[in-house]
Amino acid sequence: MAGSRGYSVVIFILLSSFAAVVWTTDNMPADKDVSKLFPLTLIHINDLHARFDETNMKSNACTAKDQCIAGIARVYQKIQDLLKEYKSKNAIYLNAGDNFQGTLWYNLLRWQVTADFITKLKPTAMTLGNHEFDHTPKGLAPYLAELDKAGIPTLVANLVMNNDPDLKSSKIQKSIKVTVGGKTIGIIGVLYDKTHEIAQTGKVTLSNAVETVKREAAALKKDKVDIIVVLSHCSYDEDKKIAKEAGQDIDVIVGAHSHSFLYSKESNKPYDQKDKIEGPYPTIVESNNKRKIPIVQAKSFGKYVGRLTLYFDNQGEVKHWEGYPEFIDNKVKQDPKILEALLPWRKKVQEIGSTKVGETTIELDRDSCRDKECTLGVLYADAFADHYTNSSFRPFAIIQAGNFRNPIKVGKITNGDIIEAAPFGSTADLIRLKGDSLWAVAEHSFALDDENRTNCLQVSGLRIVIDPGKKIGSRVVKIDVMDNRNPKSEDFKPLDKNAEYFIAVPSYLADGKDGFSAMKKATARWTYLQAQFISRLLDTGQPSTMFHTDAHSSLEQKKQKGPNVVYMDPFARIDDRQPNSKTKII
């Protein structure tokens, strides 16, 4: 396959930090006497991403040979145990969003299955994640209605509705006040303020997170709230920024979005040692007015449940803290009622998802897609181009790496595999775009997003040469393209920045999301459902059946020298080719 030649883009990433971080196991007094202080315990999860069933240690579907962990039945049991154990320390349970998307359970059963289990867990409050908008506000509205019916407050203080018709009757609050142990706790919800640039939010936009938290916290303080919790789906780095710049009135941030695993190095509590520790639990950031603001996050996928206990003095200042992320391994019991509730949903998933549509003898990898050509990206890019190809026409194809979420393992390929690999429900659109805009799109794919990741294009029908040593925005050295009007030709010619080209892309990319704003300059656009052409692609015996061949590498690529790195995936059809012996997609 294309990726098997070993040519990749290598980009060195420098990480930055907004504030100094303090590493500590806990901050308890030597004599452990906190009897004169007010305790508040925060039990929290984030970024569940539809992991309702058990998973393996990599948070993929668990098989008979795996050690099964996590799953909603274990998460539920652990939350109930912690609420009971820390009841005397004023425990509340918070959900920091991104419960949608990530497995076949969501792709087939959408908001219905998510609402069923989130309402059973019944958090004190929750916020929304960017993936709650994956099927637009219309797909979110019934979920919000179910949460409201169950008495679960949804908090997003920086959500600007802009009269979106699908959310006009939805109850989304900026903050709430709850009373525990005689104290009034204010909880503010906040969502990453560029969500409208990366998600299908319709008319909805997000205002600046820092400024929103400042305003809402000041209002709560004026309303005599004792303690303020920020429930954030903004990322670990953004939370540090919020703590530093908006820390004058807030007391703690419960975070999400970046899937950050926070763990104190000196702790002896169990965890998966393959999980990269990004910072201490809690991370303490000093605000601009010299207050200490704890930040917590519990990685993702139900693998951990966070538990932080804070101790406040009479002035409402945090004096001490202790806690850690609880590892949801197979020693955690599964709640029997939740296990029973999973059965009808699981049956539906298995019925639809287990149908075989093809097979592969190599793994279709997605882990490397953001940095270089990957086998899964190659398959989809060729499929996009293949769908629109006929005897006199062949488009290019480009797909952003963020489109891919799960690999396809060696063996049979099922409906479920195809859906989970690229789960976002985009249509496969054909656009007409000028060469200069295509060049800008390529440049953006080698820039860094807010999580310091690239979003390398998976391509078909063009070659991109970059110099990763150059500054962002000037890394593309050249682009060569095949002829849209001559499907039989395999010749490449330099991109003409003034010419218009036909390109097959996901609708999400055509909308200019993930910062690919140059895509909005397309002069024409046609739409086709992705699921339909993927089924056609894998339908045994059909002319569009794809094999990845040695056309994905070349002598030119092998001879490439110097600072330039070839990143390419020329178009591959099987009209007059033999399939690669290592790969079989039928």
Q: How far apart are CA 503 and CA 521, in angstroms?
A: 13
SS3 463: strand
Residue 285: φ, ψ to 5°: -115, 135
Instruction: Tell me which of 140-149, 369-378, 424-433 is least confident.
Output: 424-433
Cβ within 8 Å of residue 310, ≥6 positions away: 39, 40, 41, 42, 251, 252, 294, 318, 320, 321
pLDDT in tens, 475-506: 999 999 998 888 888 888 999 999 999 999 98
- For 380, the token pair is 């989809």
pLDDT in tens, 77-126: 999 999 999 999 999 999 999 999 888 898 889 999 999 999 999 999 99
SS3 97: coil
Question: Average pLDDT for residues 525-539, to the nearest whole number?
Answer: 52
- Say if residues 255 and 295 touch (Cβ distance below 8 Å): yes
Q: How far apart are CA 361 and CA 367, in angstroms?
A: 18
Residue 425 is predicted with a pLDDT of 65
Share of the chain above pLDDT 90, in %: 55
Residue 403 is predicted with a pLDDT of 86
Residue 45: φ, ψ to 5°: -135, 165
Closest of 549, 516, 525, 538 to residue 380, by C-alpha: 538
Closest of 392, 417, 394 to residue 407, by C-alpha: 417
The Cβ-side half-sphere exposure at 136, using a 13 Å CA radius, reads 11
- Say if residues 193 and 208 touch (Cβ distance below 8 Å): yes
Going 220 to 221 to 223 to 229, the CA torsion angle's sign is positive
Instruction: Tell me which of 142-156, 235-249, 313-327, 409-423 is least confident.
Output: 409-423
pTM above 0.85, yes or no: no
Give strand ranges (E) for 119-204.
125-126, 154-155, 159-160, 172-173, 175-180, 183-191
**Amino acid in the structure at residue 135:** H
- Say if residues 470 and 446 touch (Cβ distance below 8 Å): no
Q: Where are the domains of the chain?
A: 34-346, 355-568
355-568 is a CATH 3.90.780.10 domain = yes
- For 459, the token pair is 């391509």
The mean pLDDT of the chain is 83
Q: How far apart are CA 170 and CA 149, in angstroms?
A: 11
Share of the chain above pLDDT 70, in %: 85
Count of positions (residues) in the chain: 586
Q: May I ask the CATH class of domain 34-346?
A: alpha beta
pLDDT in tens, 29-48: 777 788 999 999 999 999 99
pLDDT exceeds cutoff 90 at 216: yes
The two beta strands, 356-360 and 411-414, are antiparallel
- Say if residues 255 and 241 touch (Cβ distance below 8 Å): no
Q: Of the spans 371-380, 438-447, 503-512, which averages the highest pLDDT? A: 438-447
